[in-house]
Chains A and B, each alone.
Chain A
């Protein structure tokens, strides 16, 4: 088997699992997911090794039809890093979810459990498809698959509030995908192809291309939940069951973000002007500041974590003006690495945080921040997990978040755009504020006790949090992986 088949395998494994899971029922689907998780992780690691070893992206032409007629998969360093992240987060979530959605021997299968496992596999497959695809229409298919798999996850509880949150999420997502599709239509009309690499040489800065880029960007921002379009995220991510929130916050919003990176730096290098990139980062800065302030003001733990996602998504957009204003330089490389490491570190930290917050809510019986005094004694491991994940979100050294924010900060100063550096520093302080608020109450002496259930799953959340911190100990050379095959440096 050639290395070209690896991306196909990464996409097909979860999709096949999802199809097989339907006739197997809840218990079989659970076993199948847990069996596929290590296999998928092995495939993702193999992809990363091949990409890093060969210092070149893996290309595979489906059915041996070459673009522009056929479809190609192209896995570069960015995709490889995100695929490994996705495999680890999905695997950890699956192990954790056995507590909530597992079906013990002799127990009757529930509808919730039957829905959860295939949806988890669907999200995994759709994420890998978004990462491996190399043409605008396959991106659209991946986006829709992500939405259709993520939306029911939100509504798994079937309570009225979660149904409303799911409907609002679906409306935002559908608006986003239809705007994206209109952009694809205009782009095809202007350039006559949808392959990202071919488009890069054909699409000029004409009005149809600019309009298409604007429509696609707006659509993708709605799916990524950047600030003015973030309204759906907090109720949806806070209302979902813990295991679902972890995957939604860690992976689903990153899928559309990676597609946006491909659009801006792959299809249209240099075509959206520096001003457009400044606007995008301005929205990101507003998301960091307003999202963090909103997180500070929350009464409930899960909503606090959800608003923290809104803020952390903002950091991802700071890389755009830094790359656009200094294309091809060392500074652009730093900004690129910083942005991607932020996406990876946030995925681990936020998955850990949502899992641990869900665990605390389940064991304390509530998630009101005021009343968690005493949790430090009753639930020591979840409190440590929350603190460690918080370190990464704040960007305290040594952690993955520190590496990401430090690279972005350095790039901002090198590019002479000091205002983004200020935003990063203020965002770190505000993040520290809301993490401290939870820890200060939780570590106080108080009545909070954990009467219910065993400690299932707290170790898994702790491992994810430790991984998010350990990313900061990686030698800087290892981050070279995400530079491989950067589209703005030529195919």
Chain B
């Protein structure tokens, strides 16, 4: 039951993030939208892990390992994007 709720919430986050990423023009908002979208994907993946658990385990460990990697990658992507936005702002200030 709870896995279904988490899955649906994850799907909702994916929807919100995708909308923001496609519609917003501002770079910072799009980066935030990308993070929402990523969070939604990780939640869906977590629900998949819960549902796929067998042999008395609380959850399937493979998706959890993948989520951890995914979070690190998303964090790196965010820092890279923010650094780029800062450089761009500095370049605009210079003229």
A-side residues, CB < 8 A to B, are 137, 141, 144, 147-148, 151, 155, 158-160, 163-164, 166-167, 170-171, 174-175, 177-178, 181-182, 184-186, 188-189, 192, 194
Whether B88 contacts A160 by the Cβ 8 Å rule is yes
Whether A189 contacts B52 by the Cβ 8 Å rule is yes
B-side residues, CB < 8 A to A, are 14, 21, 27, 30, 34, 37-38, 41, 44-45, 48, 51-52, 62-63, 66, 69-70, 73-74, 76-77, 80-81, 84-85, 87-88, 91-92
- Neighbouring A residues of B73 by C-beta, 8 Å: 141, 144, 177
Smallest beta-carbon distance B60→chain A, Å: 8
Whether A174 contacts B77 by the Cβ 8 Å rule is yes
Whether A178 contacts B41 by the Cβ 8 Å rule is yes
- Neighbouring B residues of A186 by C-beta, 8 Å: 44, 48
Give bound CA distance, A188 to B44, whole Å. 11
Give bound CA distance, A216 to B21, whole Å. 17
Smallest beta-carbon distance B3→chain A, Å: 10
Given contacts A178-B38, A182-B41, A182-B44, contact A158 B70 (CB under 8 A): no
- Neighbouring A residues of B80 by C-beta, 8 Å: 148, 151, 170
Residue from the set B52, B66, B81, B85 with the largest chain A CB neighbour count within 10 Å: B66
Residue of A nearest to B34 (CB): A174
Whether A163 contacts B44 by the Cβ 8 Å rule is no
Whether A155 contacts B91 by the Cβ 8 Å rule is no
Residue of B nearest to A164 (CB): B88
Residue of B nearest to A183 (CB): B41
Residue from the set B34, B37, B44, B77 with the largest chain A CB neighbour count within 10 Å: B77
Chosen A-B contacts, 12 in total, with CB atoms closer than 8 Å, are A148-B77, A155-B87, A160-B91, A163-B91, A164-B88, A167-B27, A167-B81, A171-B30, A174-B81, A181-B45, A182-B14, A186-B44
- Neighbouring A residues of B62 by C-beta, 8 Å: 188, 194
Given contacts A182-B41, A185-B41, A189-B52, contact A163 B88 (CB under 8 A): yes
Give bound CA distance, A182 to B66, whole Å. 12
Whether B88 contacts A188 by the Cβ 8 Å rule is no
Given A148-B80, A171-B21, 13 more contacts at CB 8 Å? A141-B73, A147-B77, A159-B91, A166-B84, A170-B81, A170-B84, A171-B34, A175-B34, A178-B74, A181-B70, A182-B44, A188-B66, A189-B48
Give bound CA distance, A158 to B27, whole Å. 18
Smallest beta-carbon distance B11→chain A, Å: 10
Smallest beta-carbon distance B46→chain A, Å: 9
Smallest beta-carbon distance B83→chain A, Å: 10
Residue from the set B37, B69, B84 with the largest chain A CB neighbour count within 10 Å: B84
Smallest beta-carbon distance B91→chain A, Å: 4
Residue from the set B30, B51, B52, B73 with the largest chain A CB neighbour count within 10 Å: B73
Residue of A nearest to B78 (CB): A174
The 10 closest A-B pairs by CB, nearest first: A189-B48, A185-B45, A160-B91, A163-B88, A182-B41, A167-B84, A144-B73, A174-B34, A178-B37, A185-B44
Residue of A nearest to B84 (CB): A167
- Neighbouring A residues of B85 by C-beta, 8 Å: 167
Smallest beta-carbon distance B72→chain A, Å: 10
Whether B21 contacts A163 by the Cβ 8 Å rule is no
Give bound CA distance, A28 to B16, whole Å. 47
Residue of A nearest to B45 (CB): A185
Residue of B nearest to A173 (CB): B77
Residue of B nearest to A192 (CB): B52
Which of B51, B77, B84 makes the CB contact (< 8 A) with A189?
B51
Give bound CA distance, A141 to B76, whole Å. 12
Whether A188 contacts B21 by the Cβ 8 Å rule is no
- Neighbouring A residues of B77 by C-beta, 8 Å: 144, 147-148, 170, 174
Smallest beta-carbon distance B34→chain A, Å: 5
